[in-house]
Amino acid sequence: MRLSEIMTPAVVTAGSDADVLGVARLMRDRSVGSVVICDREGEPTAMVTDRDLTVRALAEGRPTAEPITEHASRPLITGEPEMDLEEAAALMVQHRVRRLPVVGAGELVGIVTLDDIAVRTGNLELAQRMTQEVIEGALPGFFFHERG
């Protein structure tokens, strides 16, 4: 199965000039847990999650007017529309990410989450193993093999 078959095509984005409060409100208003940060040319450069906002900004008492780029996760790990699901899954585990923006021809075309993998592939077991490996930080591809 290819990422283009299971990705969510609508991705919530914010410009690199956005601030913490603006991105938090965007997450609230769009009911999402992550926002892809794009540069002035629209190229995706970073990701901010609700956890990033909580741990990196709010818990440290940082100003909500501070630039979102101060709290974004980099480098941005991305997949391609024609990437095979197993390859994407290994990439997500290797980099310990739960969300994988999908970039085709230099343009953000979608996003794949662990929920997408569970729901759209019907492979709940794969999504559960991936979640466990992302949390534990296992080696890439490790979850494809039985543990001994």
Alpha-carbon span 47 to 28, nearest angstrom: 16
Alpha-carbon span 126 to 122, nearest angstrom: 9
Amino acid at 137: G
pLDDT digits (tens, 9 = 90+) for 42-66: 899 999 999 999 988 888 888 889 9
Q: Where are the domains of the chain?
A: 3-144
* Domain 3-144 falls under CATH 3.20.20.140: no
| 29 torsion bin: left (phi>0), alpha (psi -120 to 50), beta (else) | alpha
Of 140 and 17, more confident: 17
**Which strand (E) or helix (H) includes residue 130?**
helix 124-136
The fraction of the chain above a pLDDT of 90, given in percent, is 55
pTM for this entry: 0.82
